[in-house]
Homo-oligomer: A and B are copies of this chain.
Amino acid sequence: MNQALLGERTTAAQLSSAVDAAHAAFLEARTISPATRAKWLDAVAAALEADAGSLIDVACKETHLGSQRLTGELRRTIFQLQLLAEEIRGGEHLDATVDHADPDWGMGPRPDIRRMNVPLGVVGVFGASNFPFAFSVAGGDTASALAAGCAVVHKGHDGHPELAARTAAAVTRGLGDAGAPAGLFTLVTGREAGVALVEHPRVKAIGFTGSTAGGRALMDRAAARPEPIPFFGELGGINAVVVTPSAWAERRDTILAEYAASFTMGMGQFCTKPGLLFVPACADEELQAPLGDALATVRPHPLLTERLAAGFEGSVRSMAERSGVRELIQGSFDATPRPTVLVAEASAALSEPELLRNEMFGPASLVVRYSNDDELQAIVDLLEGQLTTAIHGTADDAVDELVEKLTERSGRVLWNAWPTGVTVSYAQHHGGPYPAASSASTSVGTAAIRRFLRPVAFQGWPQDRLPEPLRDANPWGVPQRVDGNWERPSLGSVQQPVQKVVTA
């Protein structure tokens, strides 16, 4: 375990050494086979599993999130590593494309040209506080960058320093045991190191999970470098949920109870927390009774950090003071805050769109009442980019226009479901138009690997000098698109590749 980093701040000089070591490890490892790289990811997963008990103990102490939630999150984190390992074993991420020479090609003779994805180099990753496993040291950004073939320098979050160090030790041990080059993964700490990481010339991309304000500041630095680099930021969201009049008439109380459970899950410290609920016009009491009942079952616990608690209180008070906003359910801002529900009319949001554009990170949400479909469409038009949006409706609802509008503004659109809970799978997309995310990419699921790859074409090469995935003999057995047609080796089903669970 890297005790040296506990309680200390990485200096700029140490950061530079870490990046140089990561670059050397990247150079050493960049052309190894995906099968070997997959073993490294599996070894990291195994190292986390071996340490599960102590990791969860430390996480409980540092985050207040509770052992049940943290056990599930570690299980998800381990699964994520295993799923990404399985994905690169299949070679899907290489996008191997082979165009043989063709004298009759429509625009004139075509040379032999072949393209595949190669890793970007050293990736800087910024961990989040709210998912101390799944979006932190060994989380999705780290796992997908390693899967892509990159080296990772991870800037640990101050919210869980001991857990970050212990997790980093497990990652390093797993990689070392599996034979990966030293330096392929390093943990650094402190704001100074974070800034230096974004600006280091050998860093070729950034993965970030955090606030829009913090992310934008780093994104601007990444864009202003002499060599700009991509900034893959998952910046948070409001996650508007629309309830149609017919669904409201059919199952109002159920919807409100589910809403209460979703926006208080993890004390509302989810980037997918439903922060807005659009419902048909109704009396306060129609909302208060079922919400009050549901929220009474919530067992409050402390927020992740004191700074976050202060920010939560400030954002809720600021929203409550806006014209047209009132408290519907009064919460608290003490050590274990009780949830707050605010309410406003759609007309207020139409006068002041900022009502719809400010995240309250913690257990609070805003209900907006619309009086007709025109008003609903108008407030949907005011939404900025969202990680998710949802519609609660019935089979007879005509919502095509609404769905199109939500699709234009969202990374994920749900039907009769709640946004909290983000499965790690092939089809997942966790991102969305700005300010939900800083790019069109996903930070969750197998597609997250693509962020850390870039294509290179090879023209005119003899077979034995081509990278393996581009050879006609296809020695690695990867999917190849040959002269326009995909040829996928029969590898058997990749469905349900990994069923291991954490035994801790």
A475 within 8 A of B: no
Q: Name which of A291-299, A302-310, A333-341, A410-418 contacts chain B.
A: A410-418
A484 touching B426 by the CB < 8 A rule? yes
Of the candidates B228, B486, B494, the one whose C-beta lies within 8 Å of that of A438 is: B228
A439 touching B113 by the CB < 8 A rule? no
Give, as a whole number of angstroms, the nearest-CB distance from A394 to chain B: 11
Task: Produce 1/0 per residue, A487-498, CB < 8 A to B.
Answer: 010000111111
B227 touching A435 by the CB < 8 A rule? yes
A105 touching B483 by the CB < 8 A rule? no
Query: For residue A219, which residue of chain B has the nearest CB?
Result: B228
Contacting residues, chain B, for A486 (C-beta < 8 A): 479, 486, 488
Contacting residues, chain B, for A75 (C-beta < 8 A): 107-108
Contacting residues, chain B, for A111 (C-beta < 8 A): 417, 421, 423
A456 within 8 A of B: yes
Q: Count contacts on A: residues with CB < 8 A to the other chain.
A: 94
Give, as a whole number of angstroms, the nearest-CB distance from A433 to chain B: 8
A192 within 8 A of B: no
A427 within 8 A of B: yes
Q: How far is the CA of A411 from the CA of B461 in the complex (A)?
A: 15
| Identical chains bound together, number | 2
Which of A72, A439, A454, A483 has the largest count of B CB atoms less than 10 A from its CB?
A454
B110 touching A415 by the CB < 8 A rule? no
A16 within 8 A of B: no
B457 touching A412 by the CB < 8 A rule? yes
Which of A415, A427, A442 has the largest count of B CB atoms less than 10 A from its CB?
A427
Known contacts A111-B423, A403-B465, A426-B481, A440 near B230 by CB under 8 Å: yes
Query: Which chain A residues numbered 101 to 118 have a C-beta less than 8 Å away from chain B?
Result: 102, 104-108, 110-111, 113-115, 118
A3 within 8 A of B: no
Q: How far is the CA of A429 from the CA of B426 in the complex (A)?
A: 25
Contacting residues, chain B, for A314 (C-beta < 8 A): none
Query: For residue A493, which residue of chain B has the nearest CB?
Result: B485
Query: For residue A72, which residue of chain B has the nearest CB?
Result: B108
A217 within 8 A of B: no
Task: Produce 1/0 per residue, A52-82, CB < 8 A to B.
Answer: 0000000000000000000010011001101
Known contacts A107-B79, A426-B97, A427-B98, A440 near B411 by CB under 8 Å: no
B407 touching A499 by the CB < 8 A rule? no
B427 touching A99 by the CB < 8 A rule? yes
A326 within 8 A of B: no
Q: How far is the CA of A120 from the CA of B72 in the complex (A)?
A: 36
Q: How far is the CA of A440 from the CA of B496 in the complex (A)?
A: 32
Known contacts A459-B412, A485-B495, A83 near B108 by CB under 8 Å: no
Q: How far is the CA of A462 from the CA of B416 in the complex (A)?
A: 10
Which of A82, A228, A425 has the largest count of B CB atoms less than 10 A from its CB?
A425
Query: Which chain A residues numbered 440 to 457 have a C-beta less than 8 Å away from chain B?
Result: 440, 442, 447, 453-457
Query: For residue A77, which residue of chain B has the nearest CB?
Result: B107
Contacting residues, chain B, for A459 (C-beta < 8 A): 412-415, 417
B498 touching A106 by the CB < 8 A rule? yes
A460 within 8 A of B: yes
Selected A-B contacts with CB under 8 Å, 10 pairs: A27-B404, A30-B404, A75-B108, A79-B107, A99-B428, A105-B425, A115-B429, A223-B228, A227-B385, A426-B481
Q: Which 5 A-B pairs have the closest CB atoms?
A: A440-B454, A223-B223, A429-B457, A79-B107, A417-B460
